[in-house]
Amino acid sequence: MTQGLDEIKIGGLGARRRRVEDNRFVRGRGNYIDDIVLPGMLHVEILRSPLAHARIRSIDTSKAWDIPGVRLVLTGEMMATRNLAWMPTLSYDTQAVLATDKVRFQGQEVACVIADDPYIAKDACEAIVVDYEPLPVIVNPTQAVVEGAPLIRDDKENQPDNVIYDWEVGDKAGTDRAFERADVVSKIELHYPRSHPSPLECCGSIADFDRATSKLTVYMTTQAPHIVRAAVALIAELPEHMIRIISPDLGGGFGNKVPVYPGYVMAILASILTERPVKWVEDRSGNLISTGFGRDVYLQGEMALRRDGKILGVRMHTDADHGAFFGDAQPSKFKIGLMHSAFACYDIPAAHLTARGVYTNKAPGGVAYRCSFRVTEAMFFQERMVQAAADDLGIDQAEFRRVNFVRDDDFPHRTAFGFLTDSGQYGKCLDVGLEAVGYQEFLKEKEEARKRGRLLGIGISTMTEPLGAGNSREFDILGIKMFDSAELRVHMTGKAILRTGARTQGQGHETTWAQIVAHELGLPAEDIVVEEGDTDTAPFGMGTYASRSTPVAGAAVSMVARKIRAKARKLAAHLLEVSEEDVEWELGRFYVRSAPDRGVTIQECAMAAYSNMPDGMEPGLEGNAYYDPPNLTWPFACYIVTVEVDPQTGVWDVLNTVAVDDCGVRINPMVVEGQIMGGLTEAYAMASMQFITFDAEGNCVGSNFMDYLLPTAWETPGYELHEVVTPCPHHPIGAKGIGECATVGGPAAFVNAVMDAIKDTGVRNVDMPLLPDRVYEAITQRHDVSGAPPIKVDE
Ligand code: MCN
Ligand code: CUN
């Protein structure tokens, strides 16, 4: 008879446990960067460039210095004396901290003021006089490569043009042959517009250099505190043990808090120079205009098709607009990130991708916003291409996908671009989705409606995406390998503290990691406190992005708990006076195999570790684990959206959204569902309303929440969620990542639905956001509508 614990009751794997961090968040008791006030703290404000491209003739800061309360005014020239005017980026480029020679995008940092309060600093910024000589501006890749285009990066040697890279992957010859054999070739051109993570909390930091101890403590809104410490140690050559990075509660990250921004560097230098703590908190326009954006990629896609629906080959060419500095925060050796994860869920004989990256006069960024390093673009392009191909063949879009899916018995599967996928039930997910949305009935309803002049549409998006960078063989940042870690300390009363190298930004790690420990050790989840984000206390880890926490740090949590259980087993054998081989485990308890009633709880083992250990055993019950995943995890998703488009106005309403997600074993189904709903909302926002672009002068249009809209509960459609569980074969508890799936796969479902509704017009594409006027133009003018900048502004 078992006496093991009920796993759900103790908050283990699968429990819909309420998020413990919400105890403070919903009460307004979070501890965010702006809540932290240190004695004697000064404040930084940044002066930003009004022009997108201009030579700096001179900067006069004298009036700013005269304002009472101003402690320091920094310019690029002064940063240069400390060798800090430029900083390296994670993509082996350089980025200006404060401009010296030229400004290269609107909003670029030109000078900063450090003062007693932020208002004085702001006023003083306005007293700085900068003499600019305007230069011609580039806002899209076409302009960047025309003959005679102005050279943006004239600071660099060996950079004769605006091209950052030309890169390719796949089998060119095989793909060419596939196109020769094709019955039908389907083509489409798309632009995935610039989009912005816009977490509710903007970026900020407090640098606190203590001259007496030589210790530099930096509180900072970062998703990856250890990488920042490593970067400061390796690049600024400060001793690593004298640097402490603390990432306090984060008000969302969504990728925006991965890059290192000039403001952080300014605050650090200012603190060293003034010997006072220095705080920098960014305002909303500063965030939208200058920090890491997502996408801004163009696609020319082609598919070679057999008449019966089989895909024979895929050709993709992408042009990526990186802005003025190549600052992609991505750890792979692939120039265009994981773009070539496209088509991983389809069984395709040959594929070839070429990618070009260019400099433009826009803020740098490129791989931030719930993206897993350009997987968002990859899956959007993939699913838009798939729908166009099904239409070109006149085949049902669901059937077309089914015909081409990798089959359940075909794993592990090597994709046409070389990734190894390991598990999934793609057809089943699609079936669940079609059933839930009432596919056949909807098609009939759509036909009926059409006869009465109403435009209904249905969009499908199915995809498997690579989540969880590393492994360390293929992924590194500045040479540091992509593994992660966990450290577990079980106290004598059986309560415990767990620390990991990840950094939650709202994903719920404080709740879910405790559930993994509960699953492995039978300690109730509420007895485990989880702490992340302080480099002085947390074990080394690469942080949270690319939905890598569960695949990597989460796996480390399992592994460290198993180490603890192995030691506890020895303690149990000692307490039960039997040999270790005679001890069995059930959740929360060891017992004697031949006498199951004789047992000890995990808590009794913990007490023994401090009070009654066997001779020769090291006291205490704690350990750590570093986990290097053998592969990425490959969750699968099927999103289906139905819409009605008003032909009189171009306004479209979502009728129904069905999501079927397979992220393997779910640690906390409620947290997973929250991730999916949030992700779908971001997908809907990008597809329908989020507008940030540039005019011909390089003015950023939409760097405020009047234009760049965040959907509230009022606009957000309802979602119907379903699940399929295909455990990950190489993860200790079978989990796959989920944090980005719906943002990655969602947009194509919304756009496909609208395009399906207006298919009769012959329009192949309207670029996101599908604003009513764009849809209206497409319907009435019967042509594609591009969203590529520059936009025309009224005279
Ligand atoms: N989870 C689970 N079962 C699984 C997979 C995940 O219960 N099979 C839980 C995890 O325990 C975790 C959450 O779901 O609590 C997300 O896990 P995971 O997929 O591992 O993603 P990360 O924790 O690494 O989060 C990163 C991911 C990214 S890259 C972006 S961008 C994003 C996202 O998470 N930013 C977010 N979701 C966000 N959600 C919030 N609230 N705020 C952000 O800034
Ligand atoms: Cu690309 S955004 Mo998330 O990986 O932090």
pTM (whole model) above 0.85: yes
Q: Which ligand is nearest to the CA of 742?
A: 1
Q: How far is CA 412 from the centre of its chain?
A: 26
Atom 20 (ligand 1): residue with closest C-alpha? 550
pLDDT given for residue 436 in this prediction: 98
Atom 26 (ligand 1): residue with closest C-alpha? 547
- Could you report the per-residue pLDDT of 576-625, keeping only the tens digit for each? 999 999 999 999 999 999 999 999 999 999 999 999 999 999 999 999 99
Identify which of 293, 550, 667 to mutate to test ligand 1's pocket (most ligand atoms within 8 A of the CB): 550
| Span from the CA of 255 to the centroid of ligand 2 (angstroms) | 4
| Span from the CA of 736 to the centroid of ligand 2 (angstroms) | 16
Best CA proximity match to 309, nearest among 420, 184, 419? 184
Structure tokens given for 40: 């004697």
Determine the average pLDDT of the residues in 635-656. Answer: 98
Determine the average pLDDT of the residues in 14-32. Answer: 97
Best CA proximity match to 540, nearest among 751, 233, 330? 233
Please state which of the ranges 67-71, 109-113, 363-367, 523-527 shows the lowest mean pLDDT: 363-367
Q: Which ligand is nearest to the CA of 374?
A: 2
What is the C-alpha separation between 360 and 88, in angstroms, rounded? 18
- Could you report the per-residue pLDDT of 205-253, keeping only the tens digit for each? 999 999 999 999 999 999 999 999 998 898 777 899 999 999 999 999 9
Atom 23 (ligand 1): residue with closest C-alpha? 549
| Span from the CA of 466 to the centroid of ligand 2 (angstroms) | 12
What is the C-alpha separation between 174 and 349, in angstroms, rounded? 8
Residue 23 banded pLDDT, cuts 50, 70, 90: very high
Query: Which residues are 110's β-sheet partners?
Result: none
68: alpha, beta or left, given left = phi > 0 and alpha = psi -120 to 50? Answer: beta
Residue 2 banded pLDDT, cuts 50, 70, 90: low
| Span from the CA of 401 to the centroid of ligand 1 (angstroms) | 28
Atom 40 (ligand 1): residue with closest C-alpha? 506
106 belongs to the catalytic site: no
How do beta strands 350-358 and 86-88 pair?
unpaired
371 belongs to the catalytic site: yes
pLDDT given for residue 1 in this prediction: 52
pLDDT at 434 over 80: yes
Structure tokens given for 384: 């838009």
3-class secondary structure per residue, 207-238: EEEECCCCEEEEEECCCCHHHHHHHHHHHCCC
Best CA proximity match to 747, nearest among 633, 634, 641? 641
Average model confidence (pLDDT) for the chain? 96
Please state the atom number of ligand 2 nearest to the C-alpha of residue 197.
Answer: 2
Contact indicator for 33, 199 with CB cutoff of 8 Å:
no
- Could you report the per-residue pLDDT of 191-203, keeping only the tens digit for each? 999 999 999 999 9
Contact indicator for 57, 132 with CB cutoff of 8 Å:
yes
- Could you report the per-residue pLDDT of 298-321, keeping only the tens digit for each? 999 999 999 999 999 999 999 999
Identify which of 198, 369, 550 to mutate to test ligand 2's pocket (most ligand atoms within 8 A of the CB): 369
pLDDT at 470 over 90: no
Structure tokens given for 232: 């400061």
370 belongs to the catalytic site: yes
| Span from the CA of 614 to the centroid of ligand 2 (angstroms) | 47
What is the C-alpha separation between 282 and 284, in angstroms, rounded? 7
Residue 555 banded pLDDT, cuts 50, 70, 90: very high
223 belongs to the catalytic site: yes
Structure tokens given for 185: 């070739």
| Span from the CA of 746 to the centroid of ligand 1 (angstroms) | 16
Pocket, ligand 1, Cβ cutoff 6 A: 199, 252-255, 370, 505-509, 512, 544-550, 663-668, 671-672, 675, 678, 735-740
Q: Which ligand is nearest to the CA of 257?
A: 2
Please state which of the ranges 284-293, 427-436, 553-562, 741-750 shows the lowest mean pLDDT: 284-293
pLDDT at 367 over 90: no
Q: Of all residues in the chain, what percent carry a pLDDT higher than 90? A: 95
Given 125, 371, 728, 741, which residue is catalytic?
371
Please state the atom number of ligand 2 nearest to the C-alpha of residue 739.
Answer: 3
Give start and end residues of each alpha helix (H) in 577-699.
Answer: 602-611, 669-688
Q: Which ligand is nearest to the CA of 502?
A: 1
Residue 360 banded pLDDT, cuts 50, 70, 90: very high
Identify which of 257, 258, 475 to mutate to test ligand 2's pocket (most ligand atoms within 8 A of the CB): 258
Identify which of 675, 710, 731 to mutate to test ligand 1's pocket (most ligand atoms within 8 A of the CB): 675
pLDDT given for residue 793 in this prediction: 76
- Could you report the per-residue pLDDT of 101-132, keeping only the tens digit for each? 999 999 999 999 999 999 999 999 999 999 99
Best CA proximity match to 298, nearest among 254, 360, 372? 360
What is the C-alpha separation between 57 and 566, in angstroms, rounded? 68
- Could you report the per-residue pLDDT of 389-403, keeping only the tens digit for each? 999 999 999 999 999
